[in-house]
Chains A and B, each alone.
Chain A
Amino acid sequence: MTKSTRTSQEIERQTPRLEVSDLHVSFASRSHRRLQRNKPRVHAVRGVDLSLQPGACMGLVGESGCGKSTLARAVMNLIPLDRGTIAVDGNDMHRVESKASRQRIQMIFQHAHASMNPRMTVESVVTDPLRFDDRCTKSERSRRVESALQLAGFDAPLRGRYPHELSGGQLQRVAIARALVLEPDVLICDEPVSALDVSAQVEILAQLKDIQQTRSLTMLFITHDLDIAAAICDRLAVMYLGRIVESGPTHEILRNPQHPYTHYLSAARDLKRTSALQPLMGEPPSPLAPPTGCSFHPRCPIKSDICHSQTPVLLSTSQSSLQHQAACLHSERMDELKEITTNR
């Protein structure tokens, strides 16, 4: 795949903190006949490239089932890859067997409650990772747990409670503390606030942003909500059916989307304010049999015959920034799309 980001000289000097290249993940489908020789496979992630500089916060946006969480689990080494590499500071994570280098990436799970053992208190939930940190002695543990809980803004008197005794916001703070207690360089947040009410969302987002900046964490922030991504991330990657369809600086993507899908996503934000917009029609195609060519063509209003056969790659489209890339064969017709959606 073309990587035009590499042409940008200032970036080329540094190795990225987290680099995902050509990642493919698929699952054997369980719903089909047992004796079938070649079981159909769900292609959850189909060739994703991501590159995060140290201290960057990238938002990964997309609708349900587009492979965001699968990507996160693949990066965390929780599911096997079909193809591709995940590298931290240039070291391939799936080849390195050392625990210490794996612990450099930590993850905050979507459902904080489900991600904690219901039989463990907050304190033991946060202490548990330290048992596997060879650098941390037993006597150091309580100090590090305390500082992690403090960093996550968790009320210290509640540390003896069980997860089911805590509110959603408090639980998410425990999840943050657990992810931070190993002092990782990369933090993956899989929809960390989607299960919270709005006031708690704001608090947790502010806390995360604060931690990210003070610790200069590299963060991959997965969400389906563009508003949340806009609030916290400096770069965005938009995912559709297992592929990145657009990536670039947040403000550029929001102001001037270069892919029809991104356009609809940001239009959906406006939909909250004005009801003049036409929503995106149709269902996302099945990842069991992804469409040929551009994955978005079955729902795209500006498609042409070429979209059926040719798979678009991420290319820099905007004149202002080389970093803003979109995988659309007709990104020059975006103005046409804007007219279609607003006039109808």
Chain B
Amino acid sequence: MTTANPTNPILWTDHASTSKRRNWLARSAAAIAITFILVALLAPLLAWHQPIVCKYQGQFYFPAISDTASRLPLVGSWFQKAKPFRFPSFDARTALEPDAFALWPPVPYGPMEMVADANRPASRRHWLGTDDRGRDVLARLIHGTCVSVRVGVYSMLLAGIVGIIIGGAAGFYGGAIDWMCSRLIEIMMCFPAFFLILVVMVWIGNGVTGIILVIGLTQWTSIARLVRAEFLSGRELDFVDAARSYGASGWYIALRHLLPAALAPTLVALTFGVADAILLEAGLSWLGLGVGADVATWGGMLRDAYDQIRTHPGLMTAPCTAIFVSVLCCHILGEQLRRSLDPRIGFSESRS
């Protein structure tokens, strides 16, 4: 039978296993990415200025756990109200007696806390040393992960939603709507995104939400183009005609028959996009236009380290490595995803 198979119906095929080296790479990249996400979610359990468990005036408190819970996405606000996790109205660092029971996180310092002399080298107390204001570098690195992961994931979610809606509308309706959406995409692509973001950041001021919005609303163009192309080619296929012939509505065809085919390349583009977003956020923070000096970020750490690059060049290594590893991870994952979603590459490899 001479029928074209437009898309591979199986998401994760076994083509990858033919190349063990890439499989190994992809597995480690996935493991590192999951570690980054876990670190971001559980940051106060790893480095915080409050203990995980402590006994204060005869009662047990879980300050770090409650902080972790209240920072979780979606459910965090619920934990802020829930009673057993309520934040204690004391500072364990000063209020607790020295011999009182307290289980501290592995890094018992907050990211903004000045805990030692400036520019101390790595030691048993400060595993990566301290920065120019005496803050623990490891604690800052851990809490910088939160910002990077949040910016990367949320901005790409936003970009994905905007891209799918605009690209889908363009591809599905065609005609005048396609023309308008395509021109909008081209206009967005013509702007040098970084400078557009810079201008907007100066205008709206610092803040994670601002960065997520700005990155999400400028980086959707490539996704929109992918989705548009998939919808344009998909709506000519026979199974769309078949669906129309039994009375399926346009919305149903778009969501049930066309969108699943478009999701695969979108997912790949989003994975690469996370890397771009992390870099963009680091770049903005480095310029001082990012999240703000009151929050630890990798870009902000680089900025601080850059000021004394001649006296203490070692301070650059930690944030640089974190940015490098996370961006590399996203690229390896995206590439692996692209390969396993592309039926043609899969076939040629399994034969060779």
Residues of A within 8 A of B243 (CB): 128
Residues of B within 8 A of A133 (CB): 247
Q: Complex: how many Å from CA A133 to CA B247?
A: 8
Q: Interface readout for B249-289 with A: 1 if CB under 8 Å, 0 if not?
A: 10010001100110000000000000000000000000000
Within 8 A of B (CB), among A172-198: 178, 182, 195-196
Residues of A within 8 A of B260 (CB): 117, 119
Residues of B within 8 A of A131 (CB): 248, 252
Q: Is the CB of A109 within 8 A of B248?
A: no
Q: Complex: how many Å from CA A119 to CA B263?
A: 12
A118 interface contact, C-beta 8 A: yes
A111 interface contact, C-beta 8 A: yes
Smallest CB-CB separation from B242: which chain A residue? A115
Distance in Å: Cβ of B235 to nearest Cβ of chain A: 12
Q: Given A73-B241, A114-B3, A116-B239, is A128 in contact with B246 using a C-beta cutoff of 8 Å?
A: yes
Q: Is the CB of A109 within 8 A of B261?
A: no
A168 interface contact, C-beta 8 A: yes
Q: Given A109-B242, A111-B3, A114-B3, is A164 in contact with B9 using a C-beta cutoff of 8 Å?
A: yes
Smallest CB-CB separation from B234: which chain A residue? A117
Q: Complex: how many Å from CA A108 to CA B246?
A: 11
Q: Complex: how many Å from CA A162 to CA B8?
A: 11
Residues of A within 8 A of B244 (CB): 78
Distance in Å: Cβ of A97 to nearest Cβ of chain B: 11
Within 8 A of B (CB), among A99-150: 99, 102-103, 105-107, 109-119, 128-129, 131-133
Q: Complex: how many Å from CA A233 to CA B237?
A: 29
B59 interface contact, C-beta 8 A: no
Q: Complex: how many Å from CA A129 to CA B248?
A: 8
Most buried by B among A99, A115, A162: A115
Q: Is the CB of A117 within 8 A of B239?
A: yes
Q: Complex: how many Å from CA A77 to CA B243?
A: 12
Q: Is the CB of B245 within 8 A of A117?
A: no
Taking a contact as CB atoms closer than 8 A, the residue among A107, A162, A164, A168 that contacts B245 in the complex is: A107
Q: Given A109-B238, A117-B239, is A128 in contact with B245 using a C-beta cutoff of 8 Å?
A: no
Q: Complex: how many Å from CA A182 to CA B245?
A: 11
Distance in Å: Cβ of B304 to nearest Cβ of chain A: 50
Q: Complex: how many Å from CA A107 to CA B246?
A: 9
Taking a contact as CB atoms closer than 8 A, the residue among B4, B6, B238 that contacts A115 in the complex is: B238
Q: Interface readout for A204-237 with B: 1 if CB under 8 Å, 0 if not?
A: 0000000000000000000000000000000000
Q: Is the CB of A113 within 8 A of B246?
A: no
A280 interface contact, C-beta 8 A: no
Q: Is the CB of A132 within 8 A of B238?
A: no
Tally of B interface residues using CB under 8 Å: 26
Within 8 A of B (CB), among A266-304: none
A42 interface contact, C-beta 8 A: no
Q: Complex: how many Å from CA A109 to CA B241?
A: 9
B352 interface contact, C-beta 8 A: no
B1 interface contact, C-beta 8 A: yes
Smallest CB-CB separation from A110: which chain B residue? B238
Residues of B within 8 A of A337 (CB): none
A76 interface contact, C-beta 8 A: yes
Most buried by A among B4, B9, B245: B245
Q: Given A119-B7, A119-B261, is A106 in contact with B239 using a C-beta cutoff of 8 Å?
A: no
Q: Interface readout for B78-93 with A: 1 if CB under 8 Å, 0 if not?
A: 0000000000000000
Q: Interface readout for B1-30 with A: 1 if CB under 8 Å, 0 if not?
A: 111111111000000000000000000000
Residues of B within 8 A of A116 (CB): 239, 242
Distance in Å: Cβ of B56 to nearest Cβ of chain A: 57
Q: Is the CB of B1 within 8 A of A117?
A: no
Distance in Å: Cβ of A127 to nearest Cβ of chain B: 11
Q: Complex: how many Å from CA A78 to CA B208?
A: 49
Most buried by A among B6, B237, B247, B249: B247
Q: Is the CB of B9 within 8 A of A118?
A: yes
Q: Is the CB of B1 within 8 A of A78?
A: no
Smallest CB-CB separation from B261: which chain A residue? A119
Q: Complex: how many Å from CA A99 to CA B244?
A: 11
Smallest CB-CB separation from A134: which chain B residue? B247
Q: Complex: how many Å from CA A116 to CA B5?
A: 10
Smallest CB-CB separation from A184: which chain B residue? B246
Q: Is the CB of A129 within 8 A of B247?
A: yes
Q: Complex: how many Å from CA A304 to CA B237?
A: 44
Residues of A within 8 A of B3 (CB): 111-114, 195
Distance in Å: Cβ of B351 to nearest Cβ of chain A: 18
Q: Complex: how many Å from CA A162 to CA B7?
A: 13
Q: Complex: how many Å from CA A107 to CA B7?
A: 24
Smallest CB-CB separation from B257: which chain A residue? A117
Q: Is the CB of B241 within 8 A of A115?
A: yes
Distance in Å: Cβ of A328 to nearest Cβ of chain B: 35
Q: Is the CB of B245 within 8 A of A106?
A: yes
Q: Complex: how many Å from CA A111 to CA B242?
A: 11
Q: Is the CB of A132 within 8 A of B257?
A: no
Q: Is the CB of B9 within 8 A of A162?
A: yes
Residues of A within 8 A of B248 (CB): 128, 131-132
Q: Is the CB of B237 within 8 A of A114?
A: yes
Q: Is the CB of B9 within 8 A of A119?
A: yes
Q: Is the CB of B6 within 8 A of A168?
A: no
A selection of 14 A-B contacts at a CB cut-off of 8 Å is A78-B241, A106-B246, A107-B242, A112-B3, A113-B1, A115-B241, A116-B239, A116-B242, A118-B6, A119-B260, A119-B261, A128-B256, A178-B242, A195-B3
- The 10 A-B residue pairs with the shortest CB-CB distance, nearest first, are A113-B3, A129-B246, A132-B247, A115-B238, A114-B238, A99-B247, A118-B9, A115-B242, A119-B9, A76-B245
**Beyond A78-B244, A128-B248, 14 extra complex contacts between A and B, CB < 8 Å:** A73-B241, A103-B246, A105-B245, A109-B242, A114-B4, A114-B239, A115-B239, A116-B239, A118-B5, A118-B6, A118-B9, A129-B246, A132-B246, A178-B246
